[in-house]
Structure 1
Amino acid sequence: MRRLALTTAGVIALGSLTALTGLTATPALAAVRTVTYPLPVVVPDAGSTTATLDVANLPGTITDVDVVLNNVHYSYPQDLDLYLRAPGSTKVVKLLSDVCGTSVTPLAGSVLTVDDEAGISFPVASACPTGSYRPTNADTVGDTDLVPPGTTFAASLSAFDGGNPNGAWTLYASDDLGLFSGQLAGGFSLVVTTDDAPGHTTITSHPRKRTRSHRATIGFSADKTNVTFQCKVDDKAWKACTSPLTLKRLKVGKHKVRVRSVGASGQLEATPAVFKWRVRR
């Protein structure tokens, strides 16, 4: 098994592999990032292999994944099965299986993009030119021995939506029968779209509008889980905070707390949640 570690600083090969540079994620504020496993994925005749790409420093949660199979060469395409597993997921998506024809229609350098939103599925009995295709499983048997126990199979890449993009992405590849084999000569790329924008904050608990208490506890939440919060109390500066916010030794008079969410890439919620109240004598 080959394994690569990817950060926004570049790709570092682990184990016996050499360091690779110049392969980076797109800037953190972008919604779409492409990460690449650049080494050949060689599939042995009547055997299997895995290629693991360790990804780090991508903000937010997954909203879409496309897989680009680079420079595919295969002498009998229907022998090829490819699966993908996302970091921390118990689900595996079969990208393609038993498609693209026979030795009459070999793959010879095709770049195949697997995309849930593609207009067509992979053809089963005919050639697959470079293009975009939906995940397609024409195999009625399956290769459950390739993946870890407890794995469940999904038909589309949307199975990874809402997950963490960081960690080990694993591509499983197998050759069904003997006599023919091939490789992804250019490795593979993941085009990962993440939702790293701030959420909408709501004040969930607060003191009475008029109170004699010099203490206050204010609860709040957002409609997204991958956010942090900042609070501003009266005229003080914004500071990182968590719910509930507890205030002590409040002076008599008017008070105001503003709370805003912070997205995974640091974007600030434009309209904070606000609560106002008065401490009476």
Structure 2
Amino acid sequence: MRITQSTLRKMYENSEKITALTCYDASFATLLEDAGIDILLVGDSLGNVIQGESTTLSVTLNDMIYHTRCVARGSNKALIMADMPFGTFQITPEHAFTNASRLIAAGAHMVKIEGGSLMAETIEFLTRRGIPVCAHIGLTPQSVHQFGGYKVQGKTDDKARELQEDALILEKSGANMLLMEVVPATLAKKITDTLSIPTIGIGAGPDCSAQVLVLHDLLGVYPGKKTKFIKNFMPGAKDIQEAIENYIKAVKMGKFPDAEHVF
């Protein structure tokens, strides 16, 4: 049976941790679902781990549609969430709807949009027209040049207050979930406790409703310097599926992320 928003809502209300991983193809979609994953995120991180780019900014809508279709063909259980790439949702709500509808047609059940309260009008426009949205605040990789690099967000009182305000506005606009990336764990907990929608954390501490990692980071196959919130689950596992199962168990039991992997 397919996991839906209603399923995730019940998990959230029952304080059951929700698990998510990025996924870009049919084979891994099937493997991740067999391991018990709840959400498959077709992330624009494919620009980094699949295409070899230094940022996500070059990922196109057609790239995302292609990979969403691939994941959908290998999936029959998890909720599929797809990133809206840079330049596909910032112009007008109508433009965002046109592009989001193509991702839904490709097999996504929800789209993810980066940005704070500026995106509220667009999120309201989409959700009122039947397209579920996960909002994304904190470190938003599509804004890497504006941030001046991949840095922890919400460290000062003013910035923390701004993120809290953004979260409330995005929830009010109709966002179905909220992803927080690379923010202090104490701030992520405050925001999670304030909202009535599930939160997804990546580098945002253990108190979010859900956790997500980039699959290639979990498997230890992406080269380069590892950021603090990443954990390689392959050591000690007999194969990839067991590594993914170990991640899922760690999240469900509240053992990941631990103090070593938070800000």
Normalised-by-shorter TM-score class: under 0.3
User: When the two structures are superposed, what TM-score results if normalisation uses the length of structure 2?
Assistant: 0.22
User: When the two structures are superposed, what TM-score results if normalisation uses the length of structure 1?
Assistant: 0.21
Q: Which has the higher contact order (CA 8 A, sep 6+)?
A: 1
Normalized per residue, which structure has more helix? 2
Larger radius of gyration: 1
Normalized per residue, which structure has more strand? 1
